[in-house]
Every structure is written in structure tokens, then in C-alpha cells.
Amino acid sequence: MSLLDDGWAFGAEFADPLASLDTSIPDGVDGALLAAYALGLADDALVAAQRMTWWCSRAPELELDLAWANVALDLLGQARPLLVRAATAEPALVPALPAGSPIPAEDALAFFREPAGFRNHRLVEGADADFAQAVVRLLLLSTTRLAVFERLRHSRDQVLAGVAAKGVPELAYHRDLAAQWFLVLAGGTEESRRRTVAAVAALWPLHVEALETHAVEVAAARAGVGADPADVREQVAAVLGPLLETAGVVPPPSGRARPAATGRDGAHTAEFAPLLDEMQSVARAHPMGRW
């Protein structure tokens, strides 16, 4: 660490990610609602990126090692302005830090919230059992997120619209990368196919959960700033359905009881707290530190 530069998550002396955007809250939109919506999108990207970094030096080949790292960086690039948007729309969300701490709001949100304060879907927080599961997880996440971001390009909130406009081509690449490897693994050896089928069976319920209607997303969509994932189900199915059919993989039945609370409500799996412990350890050990 240096005594000169600020920043935990995204490096030192980065320009304000919202500097070129109109950060005023659109007329008639509740700031707390806008912040809650942005926080969910940010946490999906932040947590997924953290999980994906595990594959650095562990992917099956060098090209995939680099590709997975680049996808994680893209997601971090989406998370940062969304966290800043959440903080500007509702400053009370930002955890209190020691007086004089140099840590910016987005890093405070990333590193000083407790697990129950995170609003990511549970789809992104589990550890991958193998690379097939990493591929399926990215396929499900990127297909859904891309459909949502395509709608967010027309958000009344200029920050969300700007993040989405930049994110759409990134997410299209993420989806296509995952789809390519999904077909390779499903059509490969007997073992690679077995693992791919098992990954779909394990992750499909969490994918269905991520497409369920949530009150925050419904309200944000009605206010013209957000997109309800339930509204993109058909679009997502139109991508995943033919892909699964081509691979000869049948997902498990979707019918199940809706959980009392989901990741958007702050309810997480047992794997989530250890993930945050690792991600937040340095910042929490040195809350007055400067990079």
C-alpha cells in the first residue's frame, strides 16, 4: 500500500465514473427506490466477478484463463458506476467508516456491508464445482442480464442508461463465449457431457429464481428507470431454449415453491459469507489505508 493514492476495488485516482452523466434523479422517482434497484444490479456483477477470479490460472486452457479474467473485469466495470449511482441516490446506504477514511463510497459499499446488506441473486454467489458449472452459470447470468440491459438503455435515469449502453456489447460477448463452450462441453466426451448436464440441473432453479418478479424491480420498471426480469422471460427463453435443444440437454421442471426471501431481499446461501470474508479482508483490516 502507498500513502498517496486512494481506492480499494478499482485502483488509484480513477476519474469519477459518473462525471459525464446527468446524475439528477428523474422527476417523480424515489431516490431510495432507484438506489435499491441499482444496488441489485451492482451486486450481481460484483459478486459474479469475485467468483470468476477463482479461475485465474485454473481454467482448462490459457485462452479461457484470459477470457474469464476479462469477463470478470467487464463485470467490475459495470459494478462500479452502479454502486456510485446507489450511493448518490441514497447516501444513507453507504456504511459508516472511521473519520478521515479515504475509502470512496463505492468501495465502502463493496467492502463494508454485511452479507444481509447485499442484494445479488443467489445464482452468482456459489462456488463452481467444475468448469462446466462455471460455463453454465455465466450462460444463465449473461443471457438474463443482457436482456435486462437492452431495456435499460432506454431508462429515464441517465446513469443506468449509460451503464447499460456500455454493458450490452460486453454482455453479448459473455453470452456468446459461454454458449460456445456450453455446446463444446455438452457435445464433448462422456464425462464433459455428464458434468454439463449436472451443472444445468444444479443451477436452473437459481436461474428461475432470478427471473421471478421482485417488488423493487417492478416499482423501478413502473417508474421508467428499471426493467423487471419477469418481463424478459420470453426473450431469455428464446435464446436458451434452442441452445439447450441443440445440446440435447433438458433442464429440470421449473415448478417449485417461491422462497420466502431471495437474494434481492438479502437472503443468501451458506457459501456467500465465506466469499465476502475473503473479498473484504484487506479493506476491513486497513480501513484507513491508501493504495
Which of 73, 125, 79 minimizes the C-alpha distance to 105? 79
Q: Report pLDDT for 15.
A: 64
Q: Report pLDDT for 268.
A: 96
The helix/strand/coil state of 286 is coil
Q: Report pLDDT for 64.
A: 87
Q: Report pLDDT for 101.
A: 82
Do 193 and 135 form a contact (C-beta atoms < 8 A)? no
Q: Report pLDDT for 200.
A: 98
Q: Report pLDDT for 43.
A: 98
Q: Where are the domains of the chain?
A: 31-285
Do 18 and 84 form a contact (C-beta atoms < 8 A)? yes
Q: How far apart are CA 268 and CA 117, in angstroms?
A: 10
Which of 39, 119, 44 minimizes the C-alpha distance to 82? 39
Q: Report pLDDT for 116.
A: 95
For residue 21, give Cα distances in angstroms to 81, 102, 159, 204, 280: 11, 24, 6, 37, 29
Written as tens digits, the pLDDT of the chain (291 aa) is 333 344 444 444 456 677 677 788 999 999 999 999 999 999 999 999 999 999 888 888 888 889 999 999 999 999 999 999 999 999 999 998 888 888 899 999 999 999 999 999 999 999 999 999 999 999 999 999 999 999 999 999 999 999 999 999 999 999 999 999 999 999 999 999 999 999 999 999 999 999 998 999 999 999 999 999 999 999 999 999 999 999 999 999 876 667 778 999 999 999 999 999 999 999 888 888 776
For residue 115, give Cα distances in angstroms to 47, 111, 207: 11, 10, 21
Q: Which CATH number among 1.20.58.1910, 3.20.20.70, 3.40.50.2000, 1.20.1260.10 corresponds to the domain 31-285?
A: 1.20.1260.10
Q: Report pLDDT for 11.
A: 42
* pTM, 2 dp: 0.92
